[in-house]
């Protein structure tokens, strides 16, 4: 396997972007990544998108996006793993460069979610759950994470305060991210008086419906050196799945796919969680961040909420989580999220995070955890400054 580095990153403003189409926002992010890397061509491109079909009636994104990016006859494809599609695109690009099949590959992600109404978006997102045995019976995504939250509260005594701490922290971080959909702070009282979606989860426990795209350029370390960019090496990649339906799992207070994917990534990197300085994790709901931090081995089972409440995962904490604002504040264009996480990890490792959210600790190793559905698939990546 060849050593692989990320040499370029690009992201669009996340939000309700009425004036731009899916192809427009993807090309905007892709051009930003190409300009950042300074590459003169691509050998291939892989794009994560959960469901262009249900959101805007558009499939065949490999062809469409290569076309609009001006890359005639490029080897381009779209991959899908629900909300982990962007992370999967990144892993596939990594494998392609590491294997020697291609030298310069773009991994991207895109989702255009606001061209349909709330009902339609709920329907499209529910396609990531078990359609016949969860969705049929009235489950929604907030509902599935609410089932995890109630089980976690029963088993470990996780509290409302702990969920609120995650939302308050991520909005604080996101208030410093110019690309965030909701770049403003929220208060504990604000979170706890926001409208109930699926008890105990309120609207400010949930990530929003978002348009957005992100793209990164991967190449060999040898080529990266010639480009003269800071070399951010991909040292670990892990991928795992779990039973798709929540009720089929032995324990819904943990996310087994996250544990397994993290173990695989740590093994490849020859590191442990103690060697990692910070992480972007998949906080589609506040409870998700708490369970993910436990499942990836950062905190003991049942201790993730307490750690969030004590500020251990804040910008100044011992292990900052979601310096970008996370899905909660930055926004969650589902297929783009995994790629957007890599953008933030690279910015932090280069020392380029905007508006005062740059970690002061001179971080060397960062991690990204991206999951699909209620945890039915997970990608974990570890990046290091060379």
Partner 1 sequence: MFPSRIWREAKHRYRLEAGKCKKCGKIVFPYRLICPECGHREFEKIILPDTGKLMTYSVIRVAPSQFTDEAPYAIGIAELSNGVKLLAQIADCDVDKIKVGMEIRIEFRRVQTDSHHGVLSYGYKFVPKWY
Q: Is residue 209 within the footprint of partner 1 (CB under 8 A)?
A: no
31, 123, 160, 273: which one binds partner 1 (CB under 8 A) = 123
113 binds partner 1 (CB under 8 A): no
Site for partner 1 (CB under 8 A): which residue of 18, 40, 57, 132?
Answer: 132
In what helix (H) or strand (E) does residue 232 lie, and over which residues does it extend?
strand 232-241
Q: Which of 137, 193, 361, 362 forms a contact with partner 1 (CB under 8 A)? A: 137
C-beta of 47 vs 50, nearer to partner 1: 50
Of the residues 49, 83, 206, 284, which is catalytic?
A: 83
The reply to whether 122 sits near partner 1 by the rule CB under 8 A is yes
Decide: is 217 part of the binding site for partner 1 (CB under 8 A): no
Through-space distance between the first and last CA atoms of the chain, rounded to whole angstroms: 17
What is the nearest approach in angstroms of partner 1 to the Cβ of residue 270?
A: 32
Q: How far is the CB of 155 from partner 1 (least distance, A)?
A: 10
Rounded Cα–Cα distance for residues 106 and 121 (Å):
28
Contact letters for partner 1, residues 220-259 (x by CB under 8 A): -----------------------x-xxxx---x-------
Measured in whole angstroms, how far is the alpha carbon of residue 361 from the centre of its chain?
A: 23
DSSP bridge partners of 105: 44, 218
* 145 vs 179, beta carbon nearer partner 1: 145
**Segment (H or E) for 380:** strand 377-385
User: Three-class SS of residue 305?
Assistant: helix
Strand partners, 185: none
83 carries an active-site annotation: yes
Minimum CB distance to partner 1, residue 196 (Å):
5
Give kind and range of the element (H or E) at residue 179: none
Euclidean distance between CA atoms 154 and 7, whole angstroms: 45
Query: Given candidates 109, 142, 236, 335, which one binds partner 1 under the rule CB under 8 A?
Result: 142
Q: How far is the CB of 131 from partner 1 (least distance, A)?
A: 9
Structure token digits, residue 234: 């991909």
Which residues within the stretch 147-176 sit at the binding site for partner 1 (CB under 8 A)?
147-151, 154
Question: Which residue among 171, 282, 332, 381 is the active-site one?
Answer: 332
Note whether 128 binds partner 1 by CB under 8 A: no
Q: What is the smallest separation between the CB atom of 138 and partner 1, expressed in angstroms?
A: 5
Nearest-angstrom CA–CA distance, 341 and 86: 9
Measure Cα distances from 353 to 92, 174, 182, 345, 358 in Å. 26, 11, 17, 9, 5
Distance CA 201, CA 160 (A): 9
Taking alpha carbons only, the member of 239, 217, 213 closest to residue 337 is 213
Which residues ranging from 173 to 202 are in contact with partner 1 (CB under 8 A)? 195-201
Binding-site residue total for partner 1 (CB under 8 A)?
A: 37
Of residues 114 and 177, the one with the C-beta less far from partner 1: 114
Sign of CA dihedral 136, 138, 142, 143: negative
CB of 206 to partner 1, least distance (A): 9
User: What CA–CA distances, in Å, run from 161 to 30, 79, 252, 385?
Assistant: 40, 38, 21, 36
In the complex, least distance from residue 254 CB atom to partner 1, rounded to whole angstroms: 14
Q: Which residues pair with 372 in a beta bridge?
A: 377
172 assigned to active site: no
Asked if 47 touches partner 1 (CB under 8 A), the answer is no
Report whether 4 contacts 220 (CB < 8 A): yes
Helix H or strand E segment including 201? strand 201-202
Q: Which of 35, 101, 136, 267 binds partner 1 (CB under 8 A)?
A: 136
Interaction site with partner 1 (CB under 8 A): 118-120, 122-123, 126, 132-140, 142-143, 146-151, 154, 195-201, 243, 245-248, 252
Residues marked as catalytic: 83, 332
């Amino acid at each position: 396997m060849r050593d692989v580095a990320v040499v370029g990153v690009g992201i669009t403003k996340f939000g309700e972007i009425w004036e731009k189409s899916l192809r427009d926002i993807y090309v905007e992010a892709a051009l930003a990544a190409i300009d950042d890397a300074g590459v003169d061509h691509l050998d291939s491109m892989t794009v994560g998108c959960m469901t262009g079909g249900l959101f805007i009636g558009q499939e065949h994104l490999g062809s469409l996006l290569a076309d609009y990016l001006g890359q005639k006859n490029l080897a381009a494809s779209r991959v899908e793993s629900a909300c982990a599609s962007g992370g999967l695109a990144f892993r596939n690009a990594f494998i392609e460069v590491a294997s020697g099949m291609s030298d310069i590959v773009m991994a991207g992600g895109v989702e255009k979610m606001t061209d349909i109404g709330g009902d339609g978006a709920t329907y499209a997102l529910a396609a990531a759950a078990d359609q016949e045995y969860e969705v049929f019976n009235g489950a929604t995504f907030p509902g599935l994470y609410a089932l995890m939250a109630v089980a976690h509260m029963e088993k470990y005594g996780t509290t409302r305060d702990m969920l609120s701490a995650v939302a308050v922290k991520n909005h604080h971080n996101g208030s410093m991210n110019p690309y965030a959909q909701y770049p403003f702070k929220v208060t504990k009282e604000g979170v706890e008086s926001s409208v109930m979606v699926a008890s105990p989860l309120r609207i400010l426990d949930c990530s929003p419906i978002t348009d957005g795209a992100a793209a990164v350029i991967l190449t060999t370390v040898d080529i990266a050196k010639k480009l003269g960019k800071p070399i951010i090496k991909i040292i670990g990649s892990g991928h795992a799945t779990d039973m798709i339906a929540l009720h089929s799992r032995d324990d819904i207070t943990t996310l087994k796919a996250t544990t397994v994917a993290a173990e695989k990534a740590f093994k490849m990197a020859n590191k442990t969680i103690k060697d990692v300085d910070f992480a972007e994790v998949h906080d589609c709901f506040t409870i998700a961040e708490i369970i993910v931090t436990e499942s990836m081995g950062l905190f003991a089972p049942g201790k993730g909420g307490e750690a969030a409440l004590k500020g251990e995962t804040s910008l100044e904490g011992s292990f900052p989580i979601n310096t970008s604002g996370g899905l909660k504040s930055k926004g969650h264009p589902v297929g783009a999220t995994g790629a957007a996480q890599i953008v933030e990890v690279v910015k932090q490792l280069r020392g380029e995070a905007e508006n005062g959210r740059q970690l002061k600790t001179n971080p060397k190793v960062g991690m990204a955890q991206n999951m699909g559905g209620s945890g039915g698939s997970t990608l974990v990546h570890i990046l290091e400054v060379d």
